[in-house]
């Protein structure tokens, strides 16, 4: 039976954990090892670790940070940030990552994404899409470095379907860090164009948001602010999902 997941996201600005609001305002939350230990003690389904400054600073996520967190965690670890080649991906996997999240490379050199799927397998590659509505209410794609991309969301999803990536991490820039609820029309739109499992991120404010996101087409929900700044835990979210007859691992 397919079990739906609740996945904390840990954002890094190099070596410290941060939380953003619409990818602009930042709050520093301290040491990533400490945060990872907390999530490990709570037996979360997975953990996503993203260095949000790596691409624009032309570096890759710190290998020793990956290694240290992997040594503390007993859950699957997805890692992203500045990984621009299959050698970078292999290095991250060798130091403890289980899956790789790729964002900027989709728009800089998408052939690397195709090659990565062939070498490491679909199950290892997560395509990360940062989506924001423009003034005409159309969905636009951005890279983690903040640059708007000319490729449409529909076109991008068509390519990712052809490449057979393992998962999509769909981040709503408009909802990021606001704790106002997920972008439900976004997940409905994306899930209508692909059969690739979708992790929805950006805006979770309550366990009920997690329930609704799954009902709208997500295979997993990712969140940060509600776990950092409220008493809500991943288990709380999964309990609400279980009550709604959504299969989860309790």
- Write out the DSSP string of 131-144: EEE-TTS-EEEE-T
Does the annotation count 53 as an active-site position?
A: no
Domain range for 229: 5-243
Examine the pLDDT at 145 and tell me if it is beyond 60: no
pTM of the model: 0.93
The domain that contains 15 carries what CATH number? Answer: 3.20.20.70
DSSP state of 1: -
Examine the pLDDT at 76 and tell me if it is beyond 60: yes
**Confidence label for 29 from pLDDT (cuts 50, 70 and 90):** low
Q: Is residue 61 part of a domain?
A: yes
Q: Is residue 90 part of a domain?
A: yes
Q: What is the pLDDT of residue 167?
A: 98
Domains contained in the chain, number: 1
**Confidence label for 147 from pLDDT (cuts 50, 70 and 90):** low
Q: Is residue 92 part of a domain?
A: yes
**Confidence label for 53 from pLDDT (cuts 50, 70 and 90):** confident
Q: Is residue 134 part of a domain?
A: yes
Q: Is residue 138 part of a domain?
A: yes
Q: Is residue 250 part of a domain?
A: no
Number of H helices, E strands in the chain: 10, 12
Q: Is residue 249 part of a domain?
A: no
Q: What is the pLDDT of residue 235?
A: 95
Q: Which of 37-41, 124-128, 181-185, 238-242 has the lowest mean pLDDT?
A: 37-41
Examine the pLDDT at 115 and tell me if it is beyond 80: yes
Q: Is residue 248 part of a domain?
A: no
Which one of 51, 53, 62, 130 is the catalytic residue?
130
Q: What is the pLDDT of residue 25?
A: 60
Q: Which residue has the higher pLDDT, 75 or 24?
A: 75
Q: Is 29:18 a contact under the CB 8 Å cutoff?
A: yes
Spell out the alpha helix ranges (H) of the chain. Answer: 32-41, 63-72, 86-94, 104-108, 110-120, 153-163, 184-191, 207-215, 225-229, 234-243
Give percent above pLDDT 90 in the chain: 70
């Amino acid at each position: 039976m397919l079990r739906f997941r609740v996945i904390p996201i840990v954002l890094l600005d190099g070596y410290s954990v941060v939380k953003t609001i619409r990818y602009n305002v930042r709050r520093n939350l301290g040491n990533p090892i400490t945060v990872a230990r907390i999530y490990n003690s709570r037996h979360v389904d997975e953990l996503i670790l993203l260095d949000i400054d790596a691409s624009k600073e032309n570096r890759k996520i710190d290998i020793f940070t990956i290694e240290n967190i992997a040594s503390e965690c007993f859950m699957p670890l997805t890692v992203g940030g500045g990984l621009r080649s299959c050698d970078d991906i292999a290095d991250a996997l060798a130091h403890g990552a289980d899956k790789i999240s790729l964002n900027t490379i989709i728009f800089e050199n998408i052939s690397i994404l195709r090659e990565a799927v062939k070498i490491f397998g679909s199950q290892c590659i997560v395509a990360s899409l940062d989506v924001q509505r423009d003034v005409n209410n159309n969905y636009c794609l951005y890279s983690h470095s903040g640059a708007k991309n000319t490729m449409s969301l529909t076109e991008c999803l068509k390519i990712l379907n052809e490449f057979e990536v393992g998962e999509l991490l769909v981040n709503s820039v408009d909802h990021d860090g606001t704790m106002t609820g997920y972008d439900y029309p976004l997940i409905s739109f994306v899930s209508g164009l692909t059969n690739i499992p979708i992790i929805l991120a950006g805006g979770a404010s309550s366990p009920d948001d997690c329930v609704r996101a799954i009902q709208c087409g997500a295979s997993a929900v990712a969140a940060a602010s509600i776990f950092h700044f409220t008493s809500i835990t991943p288990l709380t979210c999964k309990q609400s999902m279980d009550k709604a007859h959504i299969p989860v691992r309790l």
